Amino acid sequence: MQAPEHTTSTATPNGHLVGYARTSTTDQKAGLEAQLRDLTGAGCAKVFREELSSVATKRPELERALDYVREGDTLIVTKLDRLARSVADLVGITAKLRAKGVALRILSMNLDTGTPTGKLMVNLLGSIAEFERELMLERQLEGIAKAKAEGKYKGRAPTARRMAPEVIRLKAEGKTADAIAKELGIGRASVFRILRVP
């Protein structure tokens, strides 16, 4: 006798559906409850949740979720801004998930990196992030050239700017701004300037 079909499932054929919900300290409680309702409706048996400021550098529950998921699992969020703070941040998170064999699903965008279309969309976002980084570096170089021409060039700041590729690489690996600053010997403010998406 064939088992009855269910409308929602708590697992993909190879893994589980894991949710992540985040609300800022200024959001109403209803915002978190709506996310939890949507994630449960999508079939998530386990949901990581946190309430913190949007400028907080660390998201411990997100780190726990990224550590928890295993190959074949799918991490689900309701909206992109609940997961990532920038395109660069999204690229870093999806790289971590891809390395573990975990798909990402964003309900509001109908994006699922477990599908060819979803992979294409994330690749496009990654290309946009790379384009933004190149524009930022180009503007920085133009600013340095202008400062030199005007005799206003200062030696120390460009050292941090030259670290931009390293800063971006370390951020993509999941390191915090504090850890990046310490490893490269530059100030936290320099790290944030480099990572800020124009």
Per residue in 78-108, pLDDT (tens digit) is 998 888 887 778 888 998 999 999 999 999 9
What is the phi-psi region of residue 174: left when phi exceeds 0, alpha when psi lies from -120 to 50, beta otherwise?
left
CA-closest candidate to residue 39, choices 97, 12, 79, 78: 78
Residues 21 and 99 occupy one common structural domain? yes
Residues 61 and 146 occupy one common structural domain? no
- Burial letters for 6-30: b for 16+ Cβ neighbours within 10 Å, e otherwise? eeeeeeeeebbbbbbbbbeeeeeee
Asked if the structure places residue 48 within a domain, the reply is yes
- Among 114, 149, 173, the domain-final residue is 114
| Contact assessment for residue 71 and residue 97, using Cβ atoms and an 8 Å cutoff | no
The alpha helices in 56-115, defined as continuous H runs, are 60-68, 80-83, 87-100
Residues 109 and 136 occupy one common structural domain? no
Note the pLDDT of residue 42: 95
Total tally of structural domains belonging to the chain: 2
- Among 114, 142, 159, the domain-final residue is 114
Residues 97 and 35 occupy one common structural domain? yes
Residues 94 and 148 occupy one common structural domain? no
Residue 27's domain comprises 17-114
Instruction: Say which residue, 61 or 12, is predicted with more confidence.
Output: 61
Asked if the structure places residue 44 within a domain, the reply is yes
Residue 72 is encoded by which pair of tokens? 């074949």
Asked if the structure places residue 142 within a domain, the reply is yes
pLDDT of residue 6 exceeding 70: no
Residues 108 and 171 occupy one common structural domain? no
Residues 105 and 138 occupy one common structural domain? no
Q: What is the CATH number of the domain that holds 172?
A: 1.10.10
Tokens 């689900």, residue located: 76
What is the phi-psi region of residue 151: left when phi exceeds 0, alpha when psi lies from -120 to 50, beta otherwise?
left
What is the rounded average pLDDT for all residues in the chain?
81
Put simply, whether the predicted model's pTM sits higher than 0.75 gets the answer no
pLDDT of residue 10 exceeding 70: no
User: Active-site residue numbers?
Assistant: 24
Note the pLDDT of residue 159: 63
Note the pLDDT of residue 70: 95
